[in-house]
């Protein structure tokens, strides 16, 4: 008998239902996913608020476009002629016009300046039901008006996905600021509002956020050799965490913020160590002949993933947080590195060099070991870091000829640059928190 | 020469022994006979076409070897410049036609009517395999199902084409979502009525499945054996995740 899975299932269900004398039932499973058709009308400025309205609108539209959740064809304002005088009320909106351009959701808003602050009112309408779903009103200093857009973008993501949005979070990254000088910077998630947080004039590398977002750890040569440091925000006060080994890199804070894992070289043997930030000696977690480096915590803090050369080529391994039961996770490729565990816990993103000697981003399923490619045939791509909700990744790409930061969805279908000018590397996406 | 004979030579010509119409008929018959003889002769001296059912095994062979499992995977969506490059597919390379009489045929060898027929069948098979299929058909075939099962599967097949939910619904939430919609059909398959029997609790998902049914407009006409059942109402249970 040839296999007819869904047919057999449908038939069986139908028969069972008939036997119970109720209406017959057919089961239809496996929905196809598609972006939600959301239109965003340019925000209406009250007198004096034109510049702020434009900035907020562009920031909001970019957030939603990069999210990968919404249909870019409907988001694109070139697809429709919005009436700037259309009111913000259900009774005044010409819903049929929005239906005609394929929108099922509609965002409208108004911006005004009051008391030196930009005040934005945002509305979300259900075009098909002709109902208002959300009304939010926010205020911020005019200079930080774009923050209002991030906040409402997070509200939209929360509304549609029942998950927190990532747009109020920040990223840390390394930027070339001079000859042989790399400093740590922090910016909004979209690369705007960049602030330099280290000023050592040396090499400062591999930033990693403390889980409360109040500090960034990194490796710095400011004392002449690579040690672990942390700079606290917003004070920018810096302190050394560890100066123990010959080479200390890859600091990773545990999810509870009490411990760090890092790679430390002693007598030319890199191994993974763990350190209680309250004090005490560093505890060695791995013991192999090959190099072990780049630790990353599972979101529950019970496991660590890391890179090891113990079987010849660099591969991704997973072990318990106490160092027990290490197991190899990747068997494809011969140069896998920079693992980053997803906040959802199911995937680990990493950089791998493929058979064409090109570095690209991949994910590996922690349970099944299945590897999926994110980037392909677009320059060198490396150093992925997850957004706090696990729906986006920031990474480094040279596809434009310069080293820039890009953001992608984990399936690689929506990729956008967030920096320009070159010299960017080693991004780390910070935790989600509201300022 | 007699006087009568000489007189006869001087007389006007006699009318023909057969009238003109009869000559035309005879000529036509001769032509028909000639054409028939030619056709008959052709059938004698050439092999008859294959009239008896005969199994022709067709095997499709894709050029190249499977990707080494030790290598990192490639994305299916190659850049357009690469994707546009045609995959070489010829009778001699991509389609291997095998039978007891002709283990392997090439385009140059297929000249006889039998070979031409085999080639035509092979090409037809290839075309069928290359197509996505009859919109009302099934990839796995329908040789062992009842008429009612077959119809149910056709309904499922059609509705699934419109079963699209927004990706704002996370995979984790999708795994929990189900909703029931009851529909009734006219004898011609027109959807007479649809109503949500059990909501999923997710507005976007509920709307997506309502849209899926609406966009169908009509379903295949139910066979007489189950027409009344479908007129009375059948519940469609939409499961967001895969079963």
Q: Which helix (H) or strand (E) holds B114?
A: helix B113-130
pLDDT at position B141: 53
For the domain A170-429, what is the CATH code?
Answer: 2.120.10.30
Please report the residues numbered 132 through 191 in chain B whose beta carbons come closer than 8 angstroms to any beta carbon of chain A.
138, 140-141, 143-146, 148-150, 152-153, 155-156, 159-160, 163-170, 173-174, 180, 182
Which residues from A are below 8 Å from B238, CB to CB? 28-29, 31
What is the DSSP code (8-state) at residue A332? S
Mean pLDDT of each 10-residue bin along chain B, 243 residues long: 50 62 86 83 58 56 72 73 34 33 41 75 64 49 67 88 87 88 92 93 91 86 91 93 78
A84 pLDDT exceeds 80?
no
CB of B76 within 8 Å of a chain A CB? The answer is no
The interface predicted TM-score of the complex, written ipTM, equals: 0.80
* Average pLDDT score over residue span A407-421: 95
Instruction: Pick B51 or A17 by higher pLDDT.
Output: B51
Residue A217, judged by CB atoms within 10 A of its CB (0-12, 13-18, 19+), counts as buried
CA distances from A429 to A81, A213, A255, B113 (A): 36, 10, 14, 70
Interval A173-198: pLDDT, tens: 999 998 889 999 999 999 999 999 99
Q: For residue A251, which phi and psi values (nearest 5 degrees)? A: -65, 135
pLDDT at position B79: 41
Do residue B167 and residue A68 have CB atoms under 8 angstroms apart? yes
Interval A327-386: pLDDT, tens: 999 999 999 999 999 999 999 999 999 999 999 999 999 999 999 999 999 999 999 999
The DSSP secondary structure of A55-68, one letter per residue, reads HHHHHHHHHHHHHS
Name the CATH code of domain B147-239 (choices 2.40.160.40, 3.30.450.20, 3.30.2130.10, 3.30.1150.10). Answer: 3.30.1150.10
pLDDT at position B201: 92
Strand partners, B238: A28, B179
Average pLDDT value for chain A: 91
pLDDT at position A72: 85
Choose the closest CB to B165 out of A17, A33, A157: A33
* Average pLDDT score over residue span A46-64: 95
A264 pLDDT exceeds 80?
yes
Q: How many CB atoms lie within 10 A of CB A57?
A: 22
* Average pLDDT score over residue span A387-397: 96
Which residues from B are below 8 Å from A372, CB to CB? 73
Do residue B164 and residue A31 have CB atoms under 8 angstroms apart? yes
A15 pLDDT exceeds 50?
no
The DSSP secondary structure of A83-118, one letter per residue, reads -TT--SSTTTS-HHHHHHTT-SEEEEEEEEEETTEE
Which residues from B are below 8 Å from A10, CB to CB? 149, 152-153, 156
Instruction: Pick B133 or A315 by higher pLDDT.
Output: A315
Interval A214-250: pLDDT, tens: 999 999 999 988 999 999 999 999 999 998 878 899 9
Pairing, β A269-276 against β A259-266: antiparallel
- Which pLDDT band holds residue A253 (cuts at 50, 70, 90)? very high
Which residues from B are below 8 Å from A27, CB to CB? 156, 237, 239, 243
Do residue B240 and residue A31 have CB atoms under 8 angstroms apart? yes
Q: Half-sphere exposure (CA, 13 Å, Cβ side) for A44?
A: 15
Instruction: Pick A242 or A2 by higher pLDDT.
Output: A242
Tokens of A393: 């990744």
Q: For chain A, percent helix, then strand, then coil, each to nearest 5? A: 15, 40, 45
pLDDT at position B1: 47
Do residue A28 and residue B180 have CB atoms under 8 angstroms apart? no
Residue A42, judged by CB atoms within 10 A of its CB (0-12, 13-18, 19+), counts as middle
The DSSP secondary structure of A152-191, one letter per residue, reads HHHHHHHHHHSS--STT-EEEEEEEEETTEEEEEEEETTS
Tell me the percentage of chain A whose pLDDT exceeds 90. 77
**Using an 8 Å Cβ cutoff, are A317 and A308 in contact?**
yes
Structure-token match 């249970």, residue found? B237
pLDDT at position B108: 42
Closest listed residue to residue B185, CA positions, set B209, B144, B139, B217: B217
Domain ranges in chain A are 1-31, 38-161, 170-429
Give the architecture (CATH level 2) of A38-161.
3-Layer(aba) Sandwich (3.40)
Interval B160-179: pLDDT, tens: 888 989 888 887 788 899 99
Domain ranges in chain B are 88-131, 147-239
């Amino acid at each position: 008998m040839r296999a007819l899975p869904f047919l057999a299932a449908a038939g069986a269900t139908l028969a069972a239902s008939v036997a119970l004398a109720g209406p017959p039932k057919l089961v239809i499973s496996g929905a196809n996913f598609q972006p939600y058709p959301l239109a965003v009308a340019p925000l209406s400025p009250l007198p004096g608020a034109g510049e702020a309205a434009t900035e907020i609108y562009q920031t909001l539209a970019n957030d939603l476009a990069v999210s990968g959740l919404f249909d870019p064809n409907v988001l694109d304002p070139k697809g429709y002629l919005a009436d700037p005088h259309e009111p913000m009320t259900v009774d005044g909106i010409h819903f049929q016009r929005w239906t005609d351009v394929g929108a099922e959701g509609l965002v409208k808003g108004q911006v005004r300046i009051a008391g030196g602050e930009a005040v934005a009112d945002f509305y979300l309408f259900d075009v098909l039901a002709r109902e208002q779903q959300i009304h939010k009103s926010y205020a911020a200093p005019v200079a930080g008006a774009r923050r209002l857009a991030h906040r409402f973008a997070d509200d939209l993501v929360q509304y549609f996905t029942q998950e927190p949005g990532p747009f109020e979070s920040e990223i840390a990254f390394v930027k070339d600021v001079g000859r042989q000088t790399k400093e740590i910077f922090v910016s909004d998630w979209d690369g705007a509002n960049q602030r330099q947080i280290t000023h050592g004039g040396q090499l400062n590398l591999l930033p990693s956020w403390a889980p409360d977002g109040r500090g960034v750890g990194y490796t710095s040569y400011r004392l002449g050799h690579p040690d672990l440091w942390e700079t606290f925000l917003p004070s920018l006060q810096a302190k050394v965490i560890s100066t123990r080994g010959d080479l200390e890199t890859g600091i990773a804070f545990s999810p509870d913020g009490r411990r760090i894992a890092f790679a430390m070289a002693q007598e030319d043997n890199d191994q993974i160590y763990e350190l209680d930030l309250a004090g005490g000696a560093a505890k060695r977690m791995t013991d192999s002949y090959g190099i072990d480096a780049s630790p990353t915590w599972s979101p529950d803090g019970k496991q660590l993933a890391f890179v090891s050369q113990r079987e010849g080529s660099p591969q991704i391994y997973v072990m318990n947080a106490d160092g027990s039961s290490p197991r190899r996770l990747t068997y494809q490729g011969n140069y896998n590195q920079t693992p980053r565990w997803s906040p959802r816990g199911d995937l680990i993103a990493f950089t791998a060099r493929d058979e064409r000697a090109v570095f690209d981003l991949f994910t590996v399923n922690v349970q099944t070991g299945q590897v999926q490619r994110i980037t392909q045939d677009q320059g060198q791509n490396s150093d992925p870091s997850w957004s706090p909700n696990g729906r986006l990744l920031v990474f480094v790409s040279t596809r434009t000829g310069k080293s820039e930061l890009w953001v992608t969805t984990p399936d690689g279908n929506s990729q956008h640059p967030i920096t320009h000018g070159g010299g960017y590397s080693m991004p780390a996406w910070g935790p989600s928190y509201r300022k | 020469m007699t006087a009568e004979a000489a007189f006869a030579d001087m007389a006007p010509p006699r009318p023909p022994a057969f009238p003109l119409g009869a000559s035309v008929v005879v000529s036509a018959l001769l032509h028909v006979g000639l054409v028939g003889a030619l056709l008959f002769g052709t059938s004698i001296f050439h092999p008859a076409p294959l009239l008896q059912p005969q199994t022709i095994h067709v095997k499709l062979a894709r050029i190249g070897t499977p990707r080494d499992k030790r290598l990192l995977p490639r994305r299916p969506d190659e850049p357009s410049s690469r994707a546009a490059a045609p995959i070489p597919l010829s009778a001699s390379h991509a389609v291997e036609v095998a039978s007891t009489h002709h283990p392997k045929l090439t385009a140059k060898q297929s000249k006889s009517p039998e070979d031409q027929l085999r080639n035509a069948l092979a090409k037809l098979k290839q075309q069928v395999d290359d197509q996505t299929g009859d919109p009302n058909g099934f990839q796995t075939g329908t040789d062992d199902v009842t008429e009612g099962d077959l119809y149910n599967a056709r309904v499922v097949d059609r509705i699934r084409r419109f079963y699209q939910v927004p990706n704002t619904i996370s995979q984790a939430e999708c795994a929990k979502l189900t909703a029931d919609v009851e529909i009734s059909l006219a004898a011609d398959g027109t959807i007479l009525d649809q109503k949500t029997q059990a909501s999923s609790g997710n507005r976007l998902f509920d709307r997506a499945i309502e849209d899926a049914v609406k966009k169908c407009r009509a379903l295949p006409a139910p066979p007489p054996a189950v027409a009344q059942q479908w007129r009375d109402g059948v519940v469609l249970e939409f499961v967001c995740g895969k079963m």
